[in-house]
Amino acid sequence: MQIQGKTFLVTGGASGLGEASTRELVAAGANVIIADLNSDKGEALANELGDSVRFSRCDVTSGDDVQAAVALAESEFGGIHGSVNCAGIAVVQKLLDRDNNPADLDQFSKGVNINLVGTFNVARLVAASIAKRVAANGGPANEDQGVIINTASVAAYDGQVGQGSYASSKAGVVGLNLPLARELTRHGIRVMTIAPGIFNTPMMESLPEKARGQLETAVPYPKRLGAPKEFGELVCHIASNGYLNGEVIRLDGAIRMT
């Protein structure tokens, strides 16, 4: 798919990996709808990047919110061609605490709902919009009509103690990848997933220097945290490479969490 002139919905697009994806897509000539809960950051980034960007306040677990963001893409830019789903949270809690009390079920469910159900919610509504456009134009004709890029994590494969909610929700995102890719072939829509390792996002910047150093040391090569720009560059490559479909790409410097 040629990125220039195409329109993408980026969830969590106001910060971290989502912001990097927004910036790289805009630099490549795309229109972007920033779908994020943080109105201040979202509107500021949209204003900074100019006329090809709009902001839509969005809870990814809300069908109405996501549909409103999709509708904004349709009304402002004439349609939507893809999504980059970066919205997510990290719930950290052990199954049992030190006194053998069980984990909070609501916290577990919250992580799964945002990370997994939210991803599915965005994918279904973006795919529906693309499919309707394709049908109105006479069908896909074996041409790339759209791409859905989801975000998992290396925790989907190497989940650590306390990551029950996070790891299982991200493993669910990995599990969604191939079934959705197979289903959407008839519409000319590709589905890909990125499983990032440890990236230098605002969450990591808040850690003490010693903790950051330990994480960097754990990465085999290059021995540093990932740069969000590198995630955004992979997003653009996936969008532009029409033969990438149904695959999960680990972007992690070869780290394997212990």
Do the bridges between strand 53-57 and strand 189-196 make them parallel or antiparallel, or are there none, so unpaired?
unpaired
Pairwise CA distance, residues 73 & 98, whole Å: 49
Cβ(1)–Cβ(29) below 8 Å: no
Whether 157 is catalytic is no
Specify the DSSP class assigned to residue 131: H
Residue ranges with strand state E in the chain: 7-11, 31-36, 53-57, 82-85, 146-151, 189-196, 248-251
Q: Pick the catalytic residue from 157, 166, 221, 243.
A: 166
Which of 130, 128, 131, 119 lies closest to 175 in space, CA to CA?
119
**Residues classed as catalytic:** 166
